[in-house]
Amino acid sequence: MKKAAWLIILSIIAASLCAYLLSSRSGRTVPGTGRVTIRYMDHADHFGVTPEIHAAFEKKYPNIKLEYIRTPQGGADRMHDKLVTMLAAGDSSIDVFTIDVIWPPELASAGWLLPLNEWFSPEEQQQYIPAMIDAQTVNGSIYGVPNLMDFGALFYRKDILEEAGLEPPKTWMELVEIARKLQQPPELFGYVSNFKADQQLMCEYFEFLYSNGGEFLDESGKEIRFTSRESIEAVQFMVDMVNKYKIVQPGNTTMSVDEGRAIFTEGRAIFHRNWLYVWSMSEYHDASKVKGKVGVMLLPTFKEGLNTSTLGGWSYCVSRFTKHREEAVKAALFLGGAEVQKVRALKGNRVPPMIPVLNDPEIIAEKPVYVDMAKFATRIRARPKSPFYTQISDIFQAQLQEAILMRKTPEQAVNDAAGQIKPLLEELEW
């Protein structure tokens, strides 16, 4: 009898444990508490602000518990593939997730995102950088709450330039000249690029393309423009940075964006194009060897007045498959709201996409560089808005890397990409 009783007790405990685990994985109510667990996927928290954010949320919403899941390592493309796999299967284990600005047309068109119009009013949307809201809007519906403003910038060693009596470069060719003059590889590289075949490569190409006066597609998104002279020249410049001018670090076609960042913050590069987080990692991270030595500026240009940065940034979206819609929406709005953005701006060193937070006197006093970054935002350009952008990008970046590796000429590469992309554009109905 005792043995049977113990078996029954153990069975009950095991069943309760399974129920708890299943509830936490699917957003169900936690047994015995009446609280709902909302699981959200977000980027790495380099500065440890997550506990403070959770405490503030759970104080406001005591019946909801937040559980943070880190995005998979390996870059945006890997995260994209993981989300697509989960959402295509109707997986409800993640209620809220942060997504790149280029994904809403694809994910919303597939019916995987919850439209937020009912909860996220036009008046609230006006509090955010307009380009960020536009990126989250598909066919009149808003699908994301912006939480991180991002765009490409040029980071440079101001101490090295000052010692050499040189001004920061205004044009790409000036950058090449300075890099060639001052570099001492492998101890000091002229320019750290990230030409791996992923979104980073596409973003850098767009910046060269747009600053040379070129376009990728026409305004309808259905006609190819990237076979132009301006585009071929942009690709040729990327090829030359690696193979002719030799100012770029070895391994640039296989290196992740953060591996490139590490070279710069270790003090082994003069110039580095990256996203805004590099400022935080340079100035505030314990491992940085370049504190107080870094400047940040608009990217150079080929043609005067065409300095361009690619729009990055991330927003919180709600899965259409969440089992707790109202609670998940509250989490997304809070995580992308003013209170959290201020915490992340001051303590997590993230550039906020909310205009009132950017203009907050405390933030301006503590992080005056954010004022300059907000001015740079006037030069932001988005990547093409298309439900087929991921496929288009995969094709183009593969051909672009063929050119950088000198397996094809720039002209051959863009024409081969056009041959593969044109059938996709012919399928567009919007």
Helix 325-335 / helix 50-60 crossing angle, nearest 10 deg: 130
DSSP 256-290: -HHHHHHHHHTT-EEEEEE-THHHHHHHT-TT-S-
The pTM of the whole model exceeds 0.85: no
Domains of the chain: 30-150+313-377 (3.40.190.10), 153-310+388-426 (3.40.190.10)
Q: Check residues 79 and 236 and name the one with the higher pLDDT.
A: 236
Residue-wise pLDDT for 346-366, tens only, equals 998 888 999 999 889 999 998
Residues in the chain: 430
Residue-wise pLDDT for 82-99, tens only, equals 999 999 999 999 999 999
Residue-wise pLDDT for 102-129, tens only, equals 999 999 999 999 999 999 999 999 999 8
| Bridge partners (DSSP) listed for residue 26 | none
Q: Which residues contact 123 (CB under 8 A, 6 or more apart)?
A: none
pLDDT of residue 141: 96
Cβ neighbours, 10 Å, residue 182: 18
Residue with tokens 């990692």: 281
CB 404 within 8 A of CB 239: yes
Cβ neighbours, 10 Å, residue 232: 22
Residue with tokens 């990217």: 299
CA–CA distance, 21 with 34 (Å, rounded to integer): 15
pLDDT of residue 73: 79
Grade residue 255 by pLDDT with cuts at 50, 70 and 90: very high
pLDDT of residue 373: 78
Residue-wise pLDDT for 266-285, tens only, equals 999 999 999 988 998 999 88
Buried b / exposed e along 190-227 (16+ C-beta atoms within 10 A): bbbbbbbbbbbbbbbbbbbbbbbbbbbbeeebeebebe
Q: Which residues contact 379 (CB under 8 A, 6 or more apart)?
A: 298, 307, 308, 309
Instruction: Please say if the pLDDT value at position 245 is more than 50.
Output: yes
Grade residue 33 by pLDDT with cuts at 50, 70 and 90: low
pLDDT of residue 280: 87
Mean pLDDT of 23-42: 71
CA 86 to chain centre: 20
DSSP reduced 3-state for 374: helix
| Bridge partners (DSSP) listed for residue 273 | 154
For the chain, percent of residues with pLDDT exceeding 90? 73
- The sign one gets for the Cα dihedral 362, 364, 368, 374 is positive
pLDDT of residue 183: 98
Instruction: Please say if the pLDDT value at position 156 is more than 80.
Output: yes
pLDDT of residue 31: 62
CB 264 within 8 A of CB 282: yes
Average pLDDT score over the chain: 90
Mean pLDDT of 287-309: 94
Instruction: Please say if the pLDDT value at position 5 is more than 70.
Output: no
Instruction: Please say if the pLDDT value at position 30 is more than 90.
Output: no
CA–CA distance, 279 with 369 (Å, rounded to integer): 9
pLDDT of residue 72: 87
DSSP reduced 3-state for 317: strand
Residue-wise pLDDT for 71-84, tens only, equals 987 778 889 999 99
Residue-wise pLDDT for 407-426, tens only, equals 999 999 999 999 999 999 98
Q: Which amino acid, one-letter code, is at 347?
A: K
Q: How many helices (H) and strands (E) does the chain have?
A: 19, 13
Structure tokens at 158: 């101001």
- The sign one gets for the Cα dihedral 176, 178, 184, 187 is negative
Instruction: Please say if the pLDDT value at position 182 is more than 80.
Output: yes
Q: Could you say which DSSP state residue 217 is in? A: B
Instruction: Please say if the pLDDT value at position 11 is more than 60.
Output: no
